[in-house]
Structure 1
Amino acid sequence: MTFAPEPPRGLRNPILPGFNPDPSIARRGDDYYIATSTFEWLPAVQLHHSTDLAHWELVGHAITDRRIDLRGIHPSGGVWAPCLSVDPEDGRFYLVFSIMKSQTVDVFDVDNFVIWADEITGPWSEPLYVNSVGFDSSLFHDDDGSKWLVTLEWETRPGYQHPGSIVAQRFDPATGEVGAPVRIHQGTSDRGALEAPHLYKRDGRYYLMTAEGGTGYGHSVCLARAERVCGPYESDPIGPFLTSAPQPYFGRDYRDFLRPEFFNPDAPMQKAGHGSLVESTDGRWWVAHLSSRPLPGTTSCVLGRETSLQEVRWNDDGWLRMTTPGPMPQEYVDLPGEDISTSDLDVEMGAAGALSPHFASLRAPIDPSWCVSAPEGLRVRGRDSLHSRFDVSLVATRLRAFTAVAETTFEAAPVRYSQAAGMTLFYDDRNFLFARVSWSEQYESRTIALVRARTVDEFDEVLVEQPIPDGPVTVRLQVDQGLATFAWRPEAGAWHDLGGSVDSQFMSDDVIRGFTGQFIGMAVVDALGKSLEATFTDFAVRYPAAEVRDAADDRRLPTHTTP
């Protein structure tokens, strides 16, 4: 008699699926919190809450208004690598974040800010500028009451080690005073691409956790320790204690961050790195880290970088080690819990156009000047094209699984080709699919078209265009393992195919060399007079069936690469 293998037990990673990178985890009492990066999307810094490390809820954002200015920010710029911490003296939350303004010729123009709040849901303070020395700044609360900013100092000079050193600066939030930067570390491993420093203290020692190896397939989490906050720091003798690519390699001063040559077909989770440490209420230790899931058989991570969780322990020599053999991240962890239910991922617009925290906009917050919740639905006024880095009328939500169905019903009356409204599968201002209703002189009527924009193309490609009658239109998008299929129907009419299945793998970090992920949203464009209004009476993204994460045993190197 043969028996089917027993399914793995415990909680399945990622715990925050879809575009949720650079996690910073903290605990206050019995409650756990994770902050994740949002880049050019607003509201800024997603804030998640849990009481058991297994079930997480998006409870809000740190910045929901115009306290930061992201208009004009390049794709994958904006709000990077938030660090969430709790002051042990008064329980106040502190959040440090970077705004990456420019990365021209490898000179990074970046400003770092600190905000604070008594409750995770706010209100949060006005941003306090602290430095521009580099990015991935974090805040450490020492047990003597002092506070330290720890940042990667970005090195721009030829002949010096790239990307630079970790620096520490004493910080007084009461006065805003920031001390002179002191270089304390240049990397635990030889992987290079040093970043994401976090300081911790245990048994009188200071521990510096860093990400090394680039934020791609050579990524990792490393540790060093010292007797004093400013060092000297001793490197962990094994190098990375968490990585999807355990083989040693030399990558110092290597500028590529994706490093696809280190794709590891044996790793359950890819791109593991950028870790943050927390002790749970039962005395166990956990590292929240970013990870990615390529589409089976490829290295195309269309969902972007996600958040996973691993259990670690302190060994007898005082170093962190995985509780499982070796440094590779595990898909399942020893926590009570089940796979994330597909219904838990569903996102929909509420009655009268109400929007949950899962909806976002580009570079400026949603406000009544262009987007209004009304009894009839969400009323959106068209502004710039989807290629703009300024005033884009787009309301979208993250794609959080490889299989999804999105649907929206809307009404719009364009009178010129430069006016449009519809649904988009969107990565950035150079890469998207747009199923849009517009006006055509050729047909002398409204039309619906599927438009594809890609970095490699000189102009937007209209894949298909069809005349449609007046009245409301419903658009449906089916996403399935890297293929996007749009359809439409008139009010109370039959469904019509719109262009067939289109490969959407070109919208991935690995092809675009970006840091975000795919979004599904409602968009309105008006290059005529910025006056076209579309009313979306409903919008929903549903994940109707549990996806098969291991659909292909053949986890080969990319079949889809940059043209």
Structure 2
Amino acid sequence: MTKFSTIHNPILPGFTPDPAVLGHGEDYYLATSTFNWYPGIQIFHSRDLAHWDLQSYVFNDPNFLHLAGTDTPAGIWAPDLSYDKRTGKFWILMCQMHNMTGNLFDQDNYAVWSDSINGPWSKPIYLNSIGFDCSLFHDDDGKHWVTTLEWDTRKGYQHPGAIVLEQFDPELGKIVGPTKRITRGGTDRGCLEAPHLYKHNGYYYLMTAEGGTGYGHGVVIQRAKKIEGPYESDPQNPIITSTPYRYFRRNDPDSLRLDLYNPKAPLQKCGHGSLVHTATDEWYVVHLSARPLPGTTNCTLGRETSIQKVYWTKDGWLRMKAGGTLAQKTTEGMKGISVSDAPQAVGVDADFSHGQIDQHLMSPYGPRTKEWCSINKNSGKLRIWGRQSFFSQFEVSLLASRIDSFKSTVATELEFKPIHYSQSAGLTLYYDNRNWLFARIYYSETLGGTALAIMKGEKGNKDEYLLDRVSLPEGKAQICAQINYGTVQFEWRKQSSDDWQKLGPKIDISFMSDEQTGGFTGLMGGIGAFDAYRRESFADFNYFKITPAK
């Protein structure tokens, strides 16, 4: 009898939403959304489907896709990853969401290709602006098809719209032919999105997400003999979800749907699926998921990536190997492929003395450039020059990476010599430009010199923990944030031989969650600086670490 290893979910904990998976021989690649962060579109690699390493990004050039000024959670949405066997090219489709005001969405969809999964990638090929969540299907006859959610903005029409099919000509570099609406959903959950086409045993299978990207989410399957339809719905839809019962919410624009929280579900918000056929002739669905703070519906870690093993029934439908439709915390691994018990949460360990900046570190609204961020080769320290505040959506001097465990330590060591109260540098927990915490070194006129204190941004409002500031004449400190599920305790010390001292009270961080912000990104830990005086100040950082608790 064949023995199977066990895969534990989530396979990519923390802010890794909208997964698209691709099998290429015995290698597996996975792309996720990055919203307003550079480099754009993360690509992870795995050999066992359980442990994934960040391998590369698709772009890091603001001339490629310009994200400055982007309102969170707009930016780069739902990349699709595919491979054309005829040409040996990898393809990625992506949506750049510019604006979501009034539900009159402004977005553009693009395709890029490369001869290698690691790039370089081509210049963006414009596809359409009809909606979002584009994907590309390479048919057996050599034709290429794009499916998109058509975002219907008309009053009186069903919201959000329909899945549309368009033919794509890679030689011409554009959509050709008419736009055909092929489905308005396989269930009555509403919030239709994330179409992916597959072909199996003479059928075209359309996998979509329905029910919103919150607690009503689900993976839905439909099929047709012809690519343009008509499509019939799987009688068990959704095939993977956290809310395994029928409900009617068509034309309901609420995507979070807190009332659909299922306390019995091992994972929440399960939907937005992507199918992969393995080299071992098995099938898996990679999907979005989330884990709220215990006893709440607040997901501070954001939307994560999980996986379920599936199989084809005799009548040609996909079913979870575990049975039922409720997404599980564990699933069977591939036949003959051992899975280690190493944790999926890996954190970040960036020692700048090596002369490199860890690839996990990203920056919002624009790429990292030597004008504001570089390693001093003589000192082996990372120098960050202060620019605009963390409330800004333009020139923000911030490097950050996702928090991938409910219990984590985020830490750094820096030196900073401010001369004006508007100059700050330090350690941050950052959800978006309206919601963050900043343990910072700054100049205090009240204390008559350099000080250490906490600044808070919550729903766009600033607050300061003035009663907890500490005099720091030397301008040097080690700072850490001890995250324990829904709270954080900042600590500090002058040097490694000293004991850690508390900085301020324990702070509730549940305000940095999808449910409290109305967004759908995730908590990041980072280092940065701002300077509203003369943009002349800089801070030198020795290291930056995010360490998950064991």
Contact kept? 1:471, 1:490, Cα under 8 Å: no
Contact kept? 2:13, 2:345, Cα under 8 Å: no
Matched position secondary structure for 2:362: strand
Matched position secondary structure for 2:54: strand
The 2-side partners of 1:494 and 1:289 are apart by 43
Deviating more after overlay: 40-49 vs 51-60: 51-60
Contact kept? 2:352, 2:375, Cα under 8 Å: no
Contact kept? 2:347, 2:545, Cα under 8 Å: no
Contact kept? 1:9, 1:332, Cα under 8 Å: no
The 1-side partners of 2:54 and 2:444 are apart by 42
The 1-side partners of 2:355 and 2:386 are apart by 17
Aligned twin of 1:512: 517
Matched position secondary structure for 1:206: strand
The 2-side partners of 1:343 and 1:24 are apart by 20
Contact kept? 1:469, 1:490, Cα under 8 Å: no
TM superposition shift of 1:91: 2.6
Contact kept? 1:149, 1:168, Cα under 8 Å: yes
Matched, 1:169 2:166: yes
Deviating more after overlay: 149-158 vs 466-475: 466-475
Matched, 1:219 2:217: yes
Matched position secondary structure for 1:408: strand
Select 2:349's aligned residue among 332, 347, 350: 347
Matched, 1:59 2:63: no
TM superposition shift of 1:342: 7.0
CA shift digits 1:319-350 (9 cap, x unpaired)? 11111221011101111424442784343234
User: How has the CA–CA distance of structure 1 residues 434 and 136 changed in structure 2, closer, same or farther, with 3 Å as cutoff?
Assistant: same
Matched position secondary structure for 1:301: coil
CA shift digits 1:358-402 (9 cap, x unpaired)? 110001011111100223211111000000000000001110000
Matched, 1:250 2:262: no
The 2-side partners of 1:342 and 1:250 are apart by 36
Select 2:77's aligned residue among 67, 77, 80: 80
Aligned twin of 1:361: 363
TM superposition shift of 1:541: 1.2
- Unpaired runs of 5+ residues, structure 1, are 1-7, 546-563
Off by >4 Å, runs of 4+ in structure 1: none
Number of aligned residue pairs: 537
Contact kept? 1:352, 1:378, Cα under 8 Å: no
Matched, 1:461 2:464: yes
Aligned twin of 1:134: 131
Matched, 1:448 2:452: yes
The 1-side partners of 2:362 and 2:425 are apart by 17
- Which amino acid is the alignment partner of residue 39 of structure 2? P
Aligned twin of 1:529: 534
CA shift digits 1:268-318 (9 cap, x unpaired)? 111000000011111111000000011111111111001001011111111
Matched, 1:101 2:101: no
Matched, 1:427 2:431: yes
CA shift digits 1:104-144 (9 cap, x unpaired)? 11111001110011111111111111110100000010000
TM superposition shift of 1:489: 1.7
Deviating more after overlay: 176-185 vs 274-283: 176-185
The 2-side partners of 1:68 and 1:40 are apart by 10
The 2-side partners of 1:351 and 1:313 are apart by 49
Normalising by structure 1, what TM-score? 0.93
User: How has the CA–CA distance of structure 1 residues 468 and 37 changed in structure 2, closer, same or farther, with 3 Å as cutoff?
Assistant: same
The 2-side partners of 1:185 and 1:535 are apart by 55
CA shift digits 1:17-76 (9 cap, x unpaired)? 110000000111221100000011111111011122122111011112221100000011
Contact kept? 1:12, 1:340, Cα under 8 Å: no
Matched position secondary structure for 1:460: strand
TM superposition shift of 1:212: 0.1
Deviating more after overlay: 166-175 vs 210-219: 166-175
Normalising by structure 2, what TM-score? 0.95
- Which amino acid is the alignment partner of residue 360 of structure 1? M
State how 1:221-370 maps to structure 2 within 5 Å: 221-335=219-333, 336-341=338-343, 344-370=346-372
Matched, 1:496 2:501: yes
State how 1:542-561 maps to structure 2 within 5 Å: 542-545=547-550
Aligned twin of 1:384: 388
Aligned twin of 1:404: 408
The 2-side partners of 1:495 and 1:240 are apart by 50
Deviating more after overlay: 493-502 vs 41-50: 493-502
Matched, 1:32 2:28: yes
Contact kept? 2:465, 2:504, Cα under 8 Å: no
Matched position secondary structure for 1:18: coil
TM superposition shift of 1:459: 3.2
User: How has the CA–CA distance of structure 1 residues 349 and 75 changed in structure 2, closer, same or farther, with 3 Å as cutoff?
Assistant: farther
TM superposition shift of 1:406: 1.7
- Which amino acid is the alignment partner of residue 120 of structure 1? I
The 2-side partners of 1:532 and 1:352 are apart by 24
CA shift digits 1:83-117 (9 cap, x unpaired)? 00011213311000000000011111001110011
State how 1:139-218 maps to structure 2 within 5 Å: 139-179=136-176, 180-218=178-216
The 1-side partners of 2:428 and 2:267 are apart by 29
Identity of aligned residues (%): 46
TM superposition shift of 1:261: 1.1
Contact kept? 1:33, 1:49, Cα under 8 Å: yes
